[in-house]
Each structure stands twice: as C-alpha cells, then as structure tokens.
C-alpha cells in the first residue's frame, strides 16, 4: 500500500470534514462577513432545531426506515405547546408538548406495524400521509393563524431561556443539543435497544430469525424520532417566539439530507449520530454560505438536491 493511497482513503473517509473545511475557507476569503460574530450566532441558531430533528432521524434511517412526518410533528407540537401555556402553565405545556411528539411517533410506528409495512418505501408513504394529518391538525387548531408568544399573559421564562439564554459562551439550545447527542450516542453504541435497531436495519430477516425484537425496534425508532422532533420544535418556536402552523415545513427533507450527507446509509444498518452532527453542520453551513455568497434561493434548492444525490452516489461507491 502506497502513502498516496492512504491519503486518498483518509480523505474519502472524512469527506464531510474536508468539504466543511473547504467551504469555510472559500466563503471566509470571498465574504469576510462570514467570520463575524453575528453570522456565527446566526449559524448556531440555525444549527439547533435541525440538529435535534436529525439526531432522531438518524435512528429511523439506521433502522432501515424513513420518517417524513417530522415536519407535521414539529408544526403540531409548536402550536399545541404555545396554545397550552396560558391555560396550563409553562411547565405543563412543555411536558405535554414533548410527550405529544413522542406519542405521535408512537402512532406512526403502530400504524406501520398494523399495516405490516416492513420496507422503507411503505414507511415513506405512511409517514408522508401522517405528516399531512399532523400539519392539517395544526392548521385546524389555530384556524390557520400564527400564535405569538408575546400575546400570552402567563410567564414563559422556560421558553425564553431555551430560545435566547446562554451559559457562558454556549447558548442553552446548544447545551440541549449536546445533552441529547451524548445520550443518543451512548444509546446507539452501548445498549441492547440501540444494537437491535442496527441489526434491524442491517438485515431484517436475519434479525427476526435470530430473535432480535424487530417490531419493538420499530416502535423505539419512531418514538425517538417524534420526541426529537418535538424537542427541535420547542427550541425553534422559543427562538422565533411565534408558532406558525407551518413552522415545521421542510424539516423532513433537511433532516434526511443531513443524515445521509453525514454518511448514514439509506440502506440501513450503518451510521452514527456523530456523523449526523457533521452532516447538519455541512447542510447549515451550505445554506449560510450560499446566502452570504448571494446564490439565488431557487438555485440553493437545486444545489441542496445535488448534494443529496451526490451523498447517495458516494455511499454506493464505497461498497464496491
């Protein structure tokens, strides 16, 4: 083995890091504003909700499934939580909101199991359908209007802290992210349930025949995904202080994009939450850089699609 080959392998294995590095350098040179404190804060804010949703999505994809319903869950959790702050108080509203997310994820998994849907394609359509249901419920509840937290009469200190508080140099939302990451990282690598999810995604038939609880794994992954979408939702509406019934729109594609760009295989089995963090970083940076460099919005969508296709292409090349 030659040294050049090694270098190539290292580059390929850490391609996301290399791309992030190049993106940062190029943008910093072309647009010095990139390194400004304002932009860094901006980046961190964008990173928060998407990273939380993507962490949950990682488990769905490692398990060999997909979850398009997170967009609907984010919207529904946001409007329900904000609507409940006045009548029930902020603590209860928060708890109910987060439990609602987990519950909606649970409903997804029960639906999948009832339909006998064991493939990614079936999951795609069922969760797509459920996303419409959840989004529609959000619209029905608010009658299509946006809820503003400034209209509320009771204290909302928890949400203010989540939205704009800091501990030292770190924002509270970033600390929430770090805590979730640490827990999910340990969950994935060290627990029975985490390993069962990997086996499920790696080879469902073999997992069933070896007595791995595949159905339970399906329940767990969708519940985690719903829960993380709810956490992401809380961080999101706390920052913008409004809960629009369409607030979650686009999160499902961006989360899937982040997970796949990070290197978790859509085929299931392989991947990690750490990779997803890099994926989210790249996706967030990409849109930030494109904004700074003046790329037109429609062109940004094209480029984002291209990145997703590129990531899947690279993943398939690695197998050869």
Partner 1 sequence: MANDNIILSIKDVHKSFPGVKALDNVSLEVRAGSVHGIVGENGAGKSTLMKILSGVYEKDSGTVAFDGQTVERTTPVESLNRGLSIIYQEFNLVNTMSVGENIFLGRFKEMGGMRGTHAKARELLDSIGSTIDTHRFVEELSAAEKQMVEITKALSFNSKLIIMDEPSSSLTSDELKRLFQIIHDLKQRGVSIIYISHKLDEIFELCDIVTIMRDGHMIDTKPVSEVTRNEMITKMVGRDIENEFPPRAHCAGETILKVSSIKTRKLHDISFELKKGEILGLVGLVGAGRTEIIRAICGADKVKGHAVSIGGKPVKIKNPASAKRMGIGLVPEDRKLQGLVLPFSVQSNIAMASLDRISRLGFINRAEEKAIALRQINNLSIKTPSPMTKAVSLSGGNQQKCIMGRWLEINPSILILDEPTRGIDVGAKYEIYVLMKQIVENGGSIIMISSELPEVLNMSNRVLTICEGRITGEFNPEDVPAQTIMDAAIG
Site residues, partner 1 (CB under 8 A)? 190-193, 195-196, 198-199, 202-203, 205-213, 269-270
Residues 6+ apart with CB under 8 A from 13: none
Long-range contacts formed by 7-16: CB under 8 A, 24+ apart = 12/318, 15/263, 15/314, 16/261, 16/262, 16/263, 16/275, 16/278, 16/279, 16/282
Give how far the C-alpha of residue 155 lies from the chain's centroid of Cα atoms, to the nearest Å.
29
Minimum gap (Å) between residue 67 Cβ and partner 1: 22
Which residue, 221 or 280, has its beta carbon nearer to partner 1?
A: 221
Which residue, 29 or 209, has its beta carbon nearer to partner 1?
A: 209
Which residue, 212 or 229, has its beta carbon nearer to partner 1?
A: 212
Which residue, 3 or 192, has its beta carbon nearer to partner 1?
A: 192
Which residue, 132 or 210, has its beta carbon nearer to partner 1?
A: 210
Which residue, 192 or 317, has its beta carbon nearer to partner 1?
A: 192
Distance CA(91)–CA(99), nearest Å, equals 12
Distance CA(64)–CA(112), nearest Å, equals 13
Minimum gap (Å) between residue 3 Cβ and partner 1: 17
Which residue, 195 or 249, has its beta carbon nearer to partner 1?
A: 195
Minimum gap (Å) between residue 267 Cβ and partner 1: 8
* Token reading at 267: 């085929």
C-beta separation of 59 from 197 below 8 A: yes
Give how far the C-alpha of residue 4 lies from the chain's centroid of Cα atoms, to the nearest Å.
36
Other residues' Cβ atoms within 10 Å of the Cβ of residue 162: 23
Minimum gap (Å) between residue 270 Cβ and partner 1: 6
Minimum gap (Å) between residue 316 Cβ and partner 1: 13
Which residue, 220 or 236, has its beta carbon nearer to partner 1?
A: 220
Exposure on the CB side of residue 196, measured as CA atoms within 13 A: 17
C-beta separation of 260 from 312 below 8 A: yes
Minimum gap (Å) between residue 204 Cβ and partner 1: 10
Nearest to 80 by CA among 137, 29, 120: 137
Minimum gap (Å) between residue 213 Cβ and partner 1: 6
Distance CA(98)–CA(228), nearest Å, equals 8
292 burial (CB, 10 Å; 0-12 / 13-18 / 19+) is middle
Minimum gap (Å) between residue 193 Cβ and partner 1: 6
Which CA distances in Å does 43 have to 26, 47, 283? 17, 6, 11
């Amino acid at each position: 083995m030659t040294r050049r080959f090694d270098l190539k392998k290292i580059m390929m294995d850490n391609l996301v890091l290399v791309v992030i590095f190049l993106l940062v350098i190029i943008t910093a040179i072309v647009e010095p504003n990139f390194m400004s404190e304002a932009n860094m804060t901006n980046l961190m804010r964008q990173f928060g909700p998407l990273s939380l949703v993507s962490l949950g999505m990682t488990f769905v994809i490692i398990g060999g499934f997909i979850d398009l319903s997170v967009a609907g869950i984010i919207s529904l959790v946001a409007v329900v939580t904000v609507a409940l702050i006045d009548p029930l108080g902020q603590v209860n509203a928060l708890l109910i909101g987060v439990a609602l997310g987990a519950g909606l994820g649970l409903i997804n998994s029960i639906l999948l199991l009832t339909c006998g849907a064991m493939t990614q394609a079936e999951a795609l359509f069922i969760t797509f359908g459920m996303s419409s249901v959840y989004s529609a419920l959000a619209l029905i509840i608010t009658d299509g209007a946006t809820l503003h937290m400034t209209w509320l009469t009771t204290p909302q200190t928890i949400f203010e802290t989540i939205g704009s508080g800091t501990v030292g140099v770190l924002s509270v939302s970033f600390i929430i992210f770090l805590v979730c990451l640490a827990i999910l990282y340990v969950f994935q690598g060290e627990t029975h349930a985490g390993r069962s999810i990997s086996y499920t995604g790696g080879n469902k038939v073999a997992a069933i025949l070896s007595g791995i609880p595949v159905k339970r794994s399906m329940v767990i992954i969708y519940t985690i995904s719903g829960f993380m979408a709810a956490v992401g939702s809380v961080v999101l509406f706390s920052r913008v202080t409004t809960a629009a019934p369409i607030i979650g729109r686009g999160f499902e594609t961006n989360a899937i994009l982040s997970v796949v760009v990070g290197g978790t295989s859509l085929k299931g089995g392989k991947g990690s939450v750490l990779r997803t963090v890099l994926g989210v970083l790249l996706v967030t940076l990409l849109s930030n850089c494109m904004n700074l460099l003046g790329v037109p919005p429609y062109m940004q969508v094209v480029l984002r699609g291209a990145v997703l296709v590129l990531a899947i292409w690279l993943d398939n090349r690695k197998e050869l």
